[in-house]
Structure 1
Amino acid sequence: MSNTKKTVGLNPFGAFEKKSSSGPSRPSHPKNKGGIEGVSEEFDGILKEVSEINENLGKNSHRLEKQTNHASVSAKQLSGHAIVVNDNLENIRSELKKIVSTATNSAKASLNA
């Protein structure tokens, strides 16, 4: 005796088969086992995945720590370079002021002569 019965529905191709309510609602997955053994295997699988995730997080954390340290060193170097550049610009401004002052005084002296 079959667990299916013919039913006519809105399917444009005509009849379709529908399982009767006497059988299981869905087939069990072949990997799924019943009882404590099945739960234990599933739990072991989950623990393995969590362990792999933790290991990857540890590696990524270490990598990020190294990158952060490198970025910190680079930032300190850039800050030092910026200070040197600023000092050099101040020296150039000072020298330009002296040159402009000398040129202005020279021009005034020429006009007054």
Structure 2
Amino acid sequence: MSLFLKNYSIGKEDDTFRVAFQIPINCEYTTFVDPYDVNIIAVTLKPYEKDPSTEFVEYYEYFSCIENVINVDFELPDGNSGGIGDGDPVTKKPRLRIDDLKMD
């Protein structure tokens, strides 16, 4: 289990998908779509923080399908840096993927 991600889930809501996830209270996240049409949730330590807290807070993000597929990757810090600097090592896991979606 990662120190930067506790529980996560995905569920359908109307014409989008809701991803619920828990990250340490002293972390923040951003979302973006990478060049391969994968939705990324990138988690980093907040500025001036050294280690992830053991207290977690829950967040929700909503994503749409791209060509009848939903892909969501968590990009988590890997190594001692906490992922706070450009070029710091990260790991992309877990990956949530649902295929053959019909959003009619």
- TM-score, normalised to structure 2, is 0.19
State the TM-score, normalizing by the size of structure 1: 0.18
Q: Which has the higher helix share?
A: 1
Higher percent of residues as strand = 2
Higher RCO (Cα < 8 Å, 6 or more apart): 2
Give the greater-gyration-radius structure (CA): 1
